[in-house]
Amino acid sequence: MENLKYIPNADLIPFDLAATLPTVGNALICDCVYAQKDHKENVFGQIYAPEARILGHKDMVLLVLLAAMDLYQSYEWTLIVKDCLRPVEAQQKMIDTDIVRNNPQWLEEPRFLSSPGQGGHPRGLAVDLSARDKYGADIDFGTAFDLFSHSSDAVHNPAHRQHPHLASSVRENRGKLDGAMERAAKSLEMELVLLSTEWWDFRTPAAYSNMFSPIRDADLEPWQKMTTPPSEIPQAQKDKITLSLANSLKKFGNF
């Protein structure tokens, strides 16, 4: 563990702040599913504090911003960020839920849920996405976000990217989302993995993310807390983050 790199707190950016940039407009919104115990897509219950923000590594946040603006310009879609940074404490809370205890197969390889400290989520380097159209209707990706099938294989898991029984419109929609994320990654010269078992999951390769120490909620700044209530973001921090993101968009996205 002592050889792992440390991700500075300053590199963890709130997506909701990124979404307020004037150039982003209606291209991006946040829907922090695990902060809402009654959310229709939340099968785990209260994992984050109700006030929690969705955070991500600055590189992932920029990638998502570029993809969101691509999708909005091309299809008038609004990209929805469902989850990204998932601190170690949140991973443990998920593992400890009744629904996971009743579905031990979710923890068998290939796992639906990583062990605490494992994977891209506790490093802010895996992001879960969905989208809406210009009328506010959810785009049909074949399943809801976070649908856990009884099996992870392609035939029995409709969320699998290679599921053989998808409608052509669903394949097209998934292709649009995948394509925008892949184009954004290419522009940033980032390697991107599209998790095979979950159409909504995009992440950096394990060989890269595993170079970094997993992030604990206990080590975050007060305004970054997730499993405990966060404080307000200091105005100076807001200004610094938004200026940096705006400059990056100009550099990589010509926005």
Q: Residue 134 in 3-state DSSP? A: coil
> Please, where are the H alpha helices in 102-205?
168-188
Domains of the chain: residue spans and CATH:
9-253 (3.30.1380.10)
Distance CA 228, CA 205 (A): 29
| 212 contacts 4 by C-beta, under 8 angstroms | yes
The pLDDT of residue 220: 98
CA distances from 134 to 45, 63, 138 (A): 30, 22, 10
pTM equals: 0.95
Looking up tokens 């909504």 gives 200
CB atoms within 10 A of CB 88: 21
pLDDT truncated to tens, each residue of the chain (255 aa)? Answer: 468 999 999 999 999 999 999 999 999 999 999 999 999 999 999 999 999 999 999 999 999 999 999 999 999 999 999 999 999 999 999 999 999 999 998 888 888 889 999 999 999 999 999 999 999 999 999 999 988 776 677 788 888 999 999 999 999 999 999 999 999 999 999 999 999 999 999 999 999 999 999 999 999 999 999 999 999 999 999 999 999 999 999 888 765
Strand partners of residue 132: 78, 138
Distance CA 65, CA 27 (A): 8
Nearest to 64 by CA among 142, 125, 2: 125
Looking up tokens 């911003």 gives 65
Nearest to 237 by CA among 13, 3, 4: 13
Radius of gyration of the chain measured on its C-alpha atoms = 17
Nearest to 122 by CA among 209, 2, 17: 209
